[in-house]
Amino acid sequence: LDKSAQSRQRGITLDLGFSAFLMAPVPDRIANDPRYSEEVPPGDDDTTNEDDGENNKQPQEQAMPKRRCKYDALQITLVDCPGHASLIRTIIGGAQIIDMVLLVIDATKGIQTQTAECIVIAEMTCR
């Protein structure tokens, strides 16, 4: 529990909560992104182009290189991080390994100081 009497009385903890799961297959939008995919070497794809038996003499268009995702699945980790000043170091440390942020704001409280800090941290790690 937090050290302040009010927080102890309300049963407030400073613990981080998290849950993780795998998403497979990787969505096309991510799988085709050059950061997460690689070009498939010619002849190394899973599809075969069979000759239809016709001698087609039209010039062939150059096909875009095929890509495949480097990953079989995405690990999604949901972290519930209380916006407490003593946890800002933890947030900064964890932000270095995060690829995406979904920031949820309490509609009844609106943007708080911690919210703005988290937005700044997210912007810094995305650059």
Q: What is the pLDDT of residues 43-94, one digit of tens each?
A: 775 544 444 455 555 555 566 678 888 999 988 877 776 666 667 777 777 7
The pLDDT score that the predictor gives to residue 13 is 60
Per cent of the chain over pLDDT 70 is 67
Lookup result for tokens 């096909």: 63
What are the two backbone dihedrals, phi and then psi, of residue 115, each rounded to the nearest 5 degrees? Answer: -60, -50
The pLDDT score that the predictor gives to residue 48 is 42
- Look at residues 89, 91, 109 and name the one whose alpha carbon lies nearest to residue 101: 91
Give the Cα separation of 118 and 53 in Å (integer): 62
pTM for the full predicted model: 0.52
